[in-house]
Structure 1
Amino acid sequence: MIMKLLFIYNANSGSLNALLDASHKLISPSTYICSLCALTHDVFSENIIWKNFRTESHLDMEFYHKDEFEKLFPSINLIYPTVLKLEESQVTTILSPDVLNELSTVEELIDRIKQSI
């Protein structure tokens, strides 16, 4: 049985979107719309605590911008950001946008992921 976590950011892919997101994080971080991105990434790079968890974990993880996810999974309608579990072709939500919006540190995110799997 293979289990995979899917992380879907509330942001679109591409260099221009990355630049706009970084600018938004710098100018008005409290109004940035992707709580998952705010937890896992600093303004210009991946958060080091998150990166260490991701690389040292034995979890299979995939990361998508919302436009990438919608192309691959057109029949799944979601509110973003979200974290899903894909297991035996079944997709279930393990961290909803409401839960992600309540988290204030990457350590809280990591704890919630560990509790949810």
Structure 2
Amino acid sequence: MKLLFIYNANSGKLNALFHVGHKLISPSTYNCRLCTLTHDVFSENSTWKNFRSQSPFDMEFYHKDEFESKFPNVKMLYPTILKLNGNEISTVLSADVLNEISDIEVLIERLKQSF
């Protein structure tokens, strides 16, 4: 079993620069709550990084374009967190749920409660 984290952002250096600028200039309109929770403006959030390094979960992280290339038949709203068990994919936390999560500690607790 793996947890798949899909950000509502495309990959690439130019896109990364755009997203950093957006977070700096207008953080309230930034459209990837998962990124906002797990990353500060320039780097990964330290609480999240510690959780990831100590977590028993096998995790994979994707930008939406990377996910859609690897899983072309899976359609959903981003950001999202999924569970991949064999060939079956199920939703752990949907975009709507992620958008309601207030901080990284709440996200971590929700993930722990999911299993």
Task: Give the TM-score normalised by structure 1.
Answer: 0.97
Q: How do 1:60-79 and structure 2 match up within 5 A?
A: 60-79=58-77
Structure 2: which amino acid aligns with 1:46?
Answer: E
Match of 2:19 among 8, 21, 36: 21
Residue 103 of structure 1 and its aligned partner are, at CA, apart by 0.6
Task: Give the whole-Å Cα distance in 2 for the aligned partners of 1:97 and 1:62.
Answer: 17
**Which residue of structure 2 aligns with residue 114 of structure 1?**
112
**Which residue of structure 2 aligns with residue 12 of structure 1?**
10
Percent identity over the alignment? 68
1:31-60 Cα deviation digits (max 9, x unpaired): 000000000000000000000000111110
Name stretches of at least 5 consecutive residues in structure 1 with no aligned partner.
none
Name stretches of at least 5 consecutive residues in structure 2 with no aligned partner.
none
1:4-53 Cα deviation digits (max 9, x unpaired): 00000000000000000000001110100000000000000000000000
> Which contiguous aligned blocks of 4+ residues in structure 1 show a shift greater than 4 angstroms?
none
Structure 2: which amino acid aligns with 1:78?
Answer: M
Task: Give the whole-Å Cα distance in 2 for the aligned partners of 1:88 and 1:42.
Answer: 33
Task: Give the whole-Å Cα distance in 1 for the aligned partners of 2:3 and 2:53.
Answer: 14
| Aligned positions, number | 115
Structure 1: which amino acid aligns with 2:110?
Answer: R
Residue 88 of structure 1 and its aligned partner are, at CA, apart by 2.0
Q: How do 1:45-64 and structure 2 match up within 5 A?
A: 45-64=43-62
C-alpha RMSD of matched pairs (Å)? 0.5
